């Protein structure tokens, strides 16, 4: 999660939340105009949000920290889809062999502009690492890689697990490549192409 400046006083008041929301929305709007994150300055965000630069710095250190905050809720949604993935699932239709995987790709497509800017070659290394660590932890704790324990995945307390890292890297790599190519295939087709690869991984790691 993004770390924002704090005065040490408890809960964030309504005015602070409103300002942060305004700044996050301004960044999302700028990215939606097909602007690379690297080309967006604090001044750009402040102008779009109609606040001063000093107000921006009252809440965020830089544009990358703002980007992490703006994408946090979307990342949480995406992590939920990863938790629901099951490479061994059978009985789904031929049109959609794994609805959770299709939802994963649909989520990326829905927020393509922001994810393309954040995860692409000119994106935020901090956000990319944040997403990778969260996805790896989630893959580790999901049912097809380790027994579900009902505990929220903690990226800071994760043992070295090659299958989990492989799943996270593969999913993010495939999704990012798809995004950068303009999402040329629909989410369900991406599932049909990706599902056999995840199933092969599950078969190969079952004897660990």
Q: What's the pTM value of the predicted model, to 2 decimals? A: 0.67
pLDDT class of 90 with cuts at 50, 70, 90? low
Q: Mean pLDDT of all residues in the chain?
A: 78
Same domain, 117 and 25: no
Same domain, 181 and 93: yes
Residue 191 lies in a domain: yes
Same domain, 77 and 164: yes
Residue 1 lies in a domain: no
In 10 A of CB 37, how many CB atoms? Answer: 22
Residue 108 lies in a domain: yes
> How far apart are alpha carbons 48 and 29 in whole angstroms?
9
> How far apart are alpha carbons 128 and 171 in whole angstroms?
13
Same domain, 137 and 189: yes
> How far apart are alpha carbons 96 and 116 in whole angstroms?
25
In the block, which residue shows the tokens 């008041």? 13
Residues near 185 by Cβ (< 8 Å), separated by ≥ 6? 178, 193
Same domain, 79 and 172: yes
Same domain, 34 and 88: no
The 3 state secondary structure assigned to 39-61 is HCCHHHHHHHHCCCHHHHHHHCC
Domain housing 163: 70-205
What pLDDT digit, counting tens, does each position of 136-190 carry?
887 777 644 444 444 555 666 677 878 788 888 888 899 999 999 999 999 999 9
How many domains does the chain divide into? 2
CATH number of the domain enclosing 52: 1.10.10.60
What pLDDT digit, counting tens, does each position of 33-80 carry?
767 788 899 999 999 999 999 999 999 999 988 988 887 767 777 777
Distances (CA, A) of 33 to 74, 114, 127, 129: 19, 10, 20, 24
């Amino acid at each position: 999660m993004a770390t924002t400046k704090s005065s040490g006083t408890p809960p964030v008041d309504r005015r602070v939340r409103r300002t942060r929301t305004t700044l996050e929305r301004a960044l999302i709007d700028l990215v939606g105009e097909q602007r690379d994150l690297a080309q967006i300055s604090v001044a750009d965000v402040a102008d779009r949000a109609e606040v001063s630069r000093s107000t921006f710095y009252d809440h965020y250190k830089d544009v990358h920290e703002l980007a992490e905050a703006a994408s946090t809720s979307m990342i949480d949604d995406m992590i939920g889809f990863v938790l629901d993935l099951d490479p061994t699932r059978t009985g789904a239709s031929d049109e959609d062999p794994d609805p959770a995987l299709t939802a994963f790709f649909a989520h990326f497509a829905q927020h393509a502009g922001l994810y393309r800017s954040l995860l692409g070659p000119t994106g935020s290394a901090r956000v990319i690492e944040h997403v990778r660590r969260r996805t790896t932890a989630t893959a580790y704790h999901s049912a097809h890689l380790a027994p579900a324990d009902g505990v929220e995945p903690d990226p800071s307390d994760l043992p070295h697990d090659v299958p989990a890292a492989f799943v996270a890297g593969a999913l993010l790599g495939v999704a990012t490549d798809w995004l950068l190519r303009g999402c040329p295939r629909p989410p369900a087709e991406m599932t049909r192409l990706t599902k056999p690869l995840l199933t092969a991984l599950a078969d190969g790691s079952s004897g660990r």
